[in-house]
Amino acid sequence: MDIGDFLRVIASEYDTSTVSSRGHLLLKQSADYLKPLIPAGLIISHGGGQGTATFTPWIAILDPDETTSAQRGIYLVYIFNVGLTKVTLTLNQGITDRSTALGRKEAKRVLRSDAEVLRATLTSSELVKYHETFVLGGTGFRQAAYEAGNILSKTYEIADLPSSEDLERDLDQLTKVYQDVLLVRQSLLQTKPGLLNLGNGSTDGLIQSAVPEFKPKSDSDYLQHVSERTIVKTRRHETLIREYGKFAKGLGFVVNTNVHPRDLTMSHSNSEWLVEAKVVYNGNSTSAVREAIGQLQCYEFFHYSRVVTPKLALFTENIGDAYVELLESLGIASVWKGSLSWEGSKSAVLNGLV
């Protein structure tokens, strides 16, 4: 079932008189249909009501460094209108936490205000392709709040859905806009405090683990220092490791994440692969590749007694042919989340890593 059929069947089989319709059951399987179409590390959530069916079922795509709940933060969401004749893919904002803190009337004002600020930072090409408003119908607060929180969206008629290729293209483009908006929002919070009403959904943020002015004189200095450090990883980074680790197990590897400070090791046929995972932010592979190279070389030098070790750089998305060749030239295989499955460099394929 492709994405078009998936959305179409939900609309036709969803029953607002129960929470056990086929449409509800299909919502619960959303990750099976959408995960292959989005970059690694993003998570899927869904809603069809609890106890009582909602009139506007939804499927959300969340960056866990931003939020793990549709109640807060910014996320991408497919939401069906009242009557289930349309579905809208919208870059939107969580409404529950804001309405609890501010009251419903003020929450809608704040959602609309923040949406306008963030939308003003987007390029003209993004604005031309997508819309500033959409209509869910009905008179409920949640429907009105989703309409107010819309940053950018595209609405499809269920009876006239575009091809799966077009639906996937829109999803891919709006996923990139999602990452753009998160970066812009972070910049605005720092440079123009007060312009936005609320910050991000996560309390974690992107915490760096670099230690200034650490200059080890020996291997033992380095190892002792690392063993005492607390390295905070982002949620999306951990999701990436978990997703690929599960995939690697299916290929026959013995996977180990309890190898601090290394991200992951994988054993197969008497060899152990040293793995470094990196999230590619905003499509910019440069820093992710550089950091992966540095950390892999460093860990190999200090943790493997200078013995050449099979090394793998793992990424959330394609890093580009030039960087794949660079890593190969350094003896580092690379794997990334492709459009439908995990993909990899020549050495990754030859060694059964994908």
pLDDT tens track of the chain, all 354 residues?
899 999 999 999 999 999 999 999 999 999 999 999 999 999 999 999 888 999 999 999 999 999 999 999 999 999 999 999 999 999 999 999 999 999 999 999 999 999 999 999 887 777 778 999 999 998 889 999 999 999 999 999 999 999 999 999 999 999 999 999 998 898 888 888 888 886 555 433 443 344 445 555 566 665 555 555 555 567 899 999 999 999 999 999 999 988 878 889 999 888 899 999 999 987 789 999 999 999 999 888 888 876 788 999 999 999 999 999 999 999 999 999 998 899 999 999 999 999
Distance (Å, whole) CA 167 – CA 78: 11
Residue 310 sits in a domain whose CATH number is 3.40.1350.10
Whether residue 239 is found in the same domain as residue 298: yes
Number of H helices, E strands in the chain: 13, 11
Whether residue 249 is found in the same domain as residue 339: yes
Whether residue 164 is found in the same domain as residue 275: no
Does residue 329 belong to any structural domain of this protein?
A: yes
Residue 131 sits in a domain whose CATH number is 3.30.920.90
Q: In the 8-state DSSP scheme, what is residue 83?
A: T
Whether residue 33 is found in the same domain as residue 140: yes
Secondary structure of residue 344 in the 3-state scheme:
strand
Whether residue 183 is found in the same domain as residue 226: no
Whether residue 22 is found in the same domain as residue 114: yes
Q: How many domains does the chain have?
A: 2
Q: In the 8-state DSSP scheme, what is residue 70?
A: T
Domain closes at, from 189, 210, 245: 189
Does residue 142 belong to any structural domain of this protein?
A: yes
Spatial CA neighbour of 226 closest among 303, 306, 312: 303
Whether residue 283 is found in the same domain as residue 334: yes
Distance (Å, whole) CA 278 – CA 337: 12
Helix H segments across 283-345? Answer: 285-303, 321-329
- Measured on CA atoms in the order 109, 188, 184, 207, is the torsion positive or negative? negative
Distance (Å, whole) CA 56 – CA 39: 26
Does residue 287 belong to any structural domain of this protein?
A: yes
Residues 6+ apart with CB under 8 A from 148: 108, 109, 111, 112, 115
Whether residue 160 is found in the same domain as residue 109: yes
Whether residue 16 is found in the same domain as residue 140: yes
Does residue 34 belong to any structural domain of this protein?
A: yes
Residues spanned by the domain of 271 = 219-350
Whether residue 73 is found in the same domain as residue 147: yes
pTM of the model: 0.81
